[in-house]
């Protein structure tokens, strides 16, 4: 800000000296960094498929040979087994997930 004031680069900017050390409240909140979650040294689930972590990515810029633009990743918390599903559109997500559950015979 001091450079803008000294070189008169902004019209209407008051000619006061800005303190470099002070940060406004909104800027301070915007620059806050949250601490990472602590690592767990134990598995909180007791059997496979008790807890699943899922993520949907896309749309990808490059379409696959099969015409898919989205990727759905499912990770089992107990075994860390990973399934990767490729989808043409987002609305296929639930249908493919239900098909996966039926394939695994989970109710």
Domains and CATH numbers, the chain: 52-104 (3.30.420.10)
Report, as an integer, the average pLDDT of 81-95: 90
20: pLDDT confidence band, cut at 50, 70 and 90?
low
Element counts in the chain: helices (H) and strands (E):
3, 3
pTM of the full predicted structure? 0.58
For position 107, what pLDDT does the model report? 52
Rounded Cα gap, residues 36 and 45, in angstroms: 22
Residues linked to residue 85 through DSSP beta bridges, in sequence order: 72
Smallest CA-to-CA distance from 60 within 72, 76, 42 is with: 72
CA-to-CA separations, 76 to 5, 49, 90, 102, in angstroms, rounded: 57, 6, 22, 16
């Amino acid at each position: 800000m001091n450079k803008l004031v000294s070189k008169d680069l902004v019209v209407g900017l008051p000619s006061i000296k800005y303190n470099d050390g002070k940060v406004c409240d909104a800027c301070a909140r915007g620059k806050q960094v949250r601490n990472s979650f602590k690592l767990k040294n134990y598995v909180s689930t007791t059997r496979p498929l008790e807890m699943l972590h899922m993520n949907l990515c896309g749309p990808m810029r490059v379409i696959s040979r099969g015409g898919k633009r989205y990727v759905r990743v499912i990770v089992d918390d107990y075994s860390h087994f990973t399934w990767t599903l490729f989808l043409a559109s987002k609305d296929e997500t639930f249908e493919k997930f239900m098909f996966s559950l039926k394939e695994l015979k989970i109710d």
